[in-house]
Chains A and B, each alone.
Chain A
Amino acid sequence: MTTIAPEAGSPQQGNPELRALLRQVDKKRHRVDRFMKGLVYLAFVLAVVPLVSVAWTVVSKGIERFNAYFLTHSMRGVYGGMDAGGVYHAIVGTIEITLFAALISVPIGLLTAIYLVEYGRGQLARSVTFFVDVMTGIPSIVAGLFAYALFAVFLGPGVRMGVVGSVALSVLMIPVVVRSSEEMLRLVPNELREAALALGVPRWLVVIKVVLRTAVAGLVTGIMISVARVIGETAPLLITVGVIDSINYNLFEGRMMTLPVYVYRQFQQGLVPCAPDQANCIATITYDRAWAGALTLILIVMLLNLVARLVTRFFAPKNFG
């Protein structure tokens, strides 16, 4: 064995023909390469521009009214261009309604996914998959009308309360949970199922203690994505939950405010006609509140994602402890 050391200053070493072959520059390929690289970067920038723009707009316009007062007060008794009013009632409504929607959809969605991956065979499994796909495409306003109609059957027309909104949201949420959970459960290696079965563990315990445990990080991420998907829904909540200015903690009675509806409502009211002699009247107060409400919503979604990340990190299978 001889070691080949590159000798500086003697570029004419070795077979000249081979060197010529190896140093040949393929100009066309380089051009295409640069062009495609440019395209990829351009696509990336184009994708990020709206994101940054949205974030910047919401923060810059919303930060003005976004403060402790805004977060802790409702709109009760606020009218005209008063320099007052907050979003507390909408935060309460959004969190309660979304949590309850998750409470309905997560068990149903997760169990469906478990059925599809672990047990489902043949016709029934195929039709479940088909209907889940169909459900994914339901327009949110239709989900709202469905939930309203469902409750109107029992409680009479004109029913408006938080739980109806939760049901509407869960109609939108279930297919997302099923789909993402199914993907995650399929990622669990079959070897682990067989390893557990070969130890004499019954199937249902294998599912709970091995499959779900191994996939838990992905499942949590999927659930968080589905929550983020519905937390900004406006139309179904406008129909089912309605609009209110004061705080309502009770999901099962009366209207509730939610953040997206709050933003919509404030924005819709438009400029306040201030009389010139009114001192504490702000003409753009509704727009300001709308932006601050939007900022609050974005922050809540971000917070949820952060929690999901932490859960993921905590539960993920570790290779090196």
Chain B
Amino acid sequence: MAQRIDVKDLNIYYSDFRAVADIEMAVEPRSVTAFIGPSGCGKSTFLRTLNRMHEVIPGAHVQGTVAMDGVDLYGADVDPVAVRRQVGMVFQRPNPFPTMSIADNVLAGVRLNNKRISKGDAQDMVEQSLKGANLWNEVKDRLDRPGSGLSGGQQQRLCIARAIAVKPQVLLMDEPCSALDPISTLAIEDLIAELKSEYTIVIVTHNMQQAARVSDRTAFFNLAGTGQPGRLIEIDDTATIFSAPREQATEDYISGRFG
């Protein structure tokens, strides 16, 4: 179910502006990789290139290769829609579909694609996905209620359930807890720890404690100044990054001297 991702010589552009430069890294399967770094350094931009959501923005494009298990996601014959089915995404702000019930939100990947699914299969899918997102017990009695009626933390777990319902290989999370309170954050972090046995998880976070708590490997991004592209400074085991980073910039950042 989980795949490794190898990124080589990746440059990411918004029209003419190079936002991220020369990324080279490997994302290990069945583990959590955290991206940290100051605002504007391109963490989220890079994350969005991993499932080709970057190019949704007009004028945005990339150079280089992102290979999942050896297959270049940016190859000429690769369909971005198919990539997104294999690489799911959870956004910063919970965004359940306001016109759908909780159950329909979980089934969105199926329903929106006009695929037919039997009632029994649909029920199984809803139950398994919601259980996978630790939300089942809280919502099992109100599956036909609107998803937007849930609390923020529940909505975010609903979005995770929606993402894992399409059975992706990789799960990208773009600051999934930044709009949530500490209790909901804890629930999501526990969930990430459970999910990593099945999925390759990449998480962008502004919270260094969170990176230290949930991730196995941590990548530090930085930019030289405004107008300069963001770069990957270093990537290593989380323990190493937080105890003995190779680069001075990394140490300055995690010890709170800037950023």
**Chain A residues with a Cβ under 8 A of chain B:** 121, 189, 191-202, 205-206, 209-210, 213-214, 315, 317-321
CA distance A189 to B159 in the complex (A): 16
CA distance A206 to B97 in the complex (A): 11
A119–chain B nearest beta-carbon distance, Å = 10
CA distance A195 to B91 in the complex (A): 8
B85–chain A nearest beta-carbon distance, Å = 3
The dominant DSSP class at the A interface is helix
- With known contacts A194-B56, A317-B146, A321-B149, A199–B112 Cβ distance under 8 A: yes
- With known contacts A191-B91, A319-B149, A202–B81 Cβ distance under 8 A: yes
Closest 7 CB pairs between A and B?
Answer: A200-B85, A317-B98, A198-B89, A191-B95, A200-B84, A199-B109, A321-B145
Question: A residues within 8 A CB of B101?
Answer: 321
Question: B residues within 8 A CB of A195?
Answer: 91, 95-97, 108, 159, 162
**Chain B residues with a Cβ under 8 A of chain A:** 51, 53, 56, 58, 81-86, 88-89, 91, 93, 95-99, 101, 108-109, 111-114, 144-146, 148-149, 159, 162-163, 166
A30–chain B nearest beta-carbon distance, Å = 43
Measured CB to CB, the nearest residue on chain B to A201 is B112
Contact A197 B95 (CB under 8 A): no
Contact B112 A210 (CB under 8 A): yes
Question: B residues within 8 A CB of A213?
Answer: 99
CA distance A188 to B115 in the complex (A): 24
Contact B148 A319 (CB under 8 A): yes
A209–chain B nearest beta-carbon distance, Å = 5
Q: A198-B163, A317-B148 are in contact. List 20 more A-B contacts (CB 8 A).
A: A121-B58, A191-B95, A192-B97, A194-B56, A195-B108, A196-B112, A200-B86, A200-B113, A201-B112, A201-B113, A202-B113, A205-B113, A209-B111, A210-B112, A214-B98, A214-B99, A317-B98, A318-B149, A319-B98, A321-B144
Contact B148 A210 (CB under 8 A): no
- With known contacts A191-B95, A213-B99, A199–B166 Cβ distance under 8 A: yes
Contact B113 A198 (CB under 8 A): no
Question: B residues within 8 A CB of A191?
Answer: 91, 93, 95
B79–chain A nearest beta-carbon distance, Å = 9
Contact A320 B146 (CB under 8 A): yes
- With known contacts A201-B109, A317-B98, A194–B149 Cβ distance under 8 A: no
28 residue pairs A–B, Cβ–Cβ below 8 Å: A189-B95, A191-B91, A192-B97, A194-B91, A195-B96, A195-B97, A195-B108, A196-B97, A196-B112, A197-B84, A198-B88, A199-B85, A199-B109, A199-B166, A200-B83, A200-B84, A200-B86, A201-B113, A202-B113, A205-B114, A209-B112, A210-B112, A214-B99, A317-B98, A318-B146, A320-B149, A321-B144, A321-B146
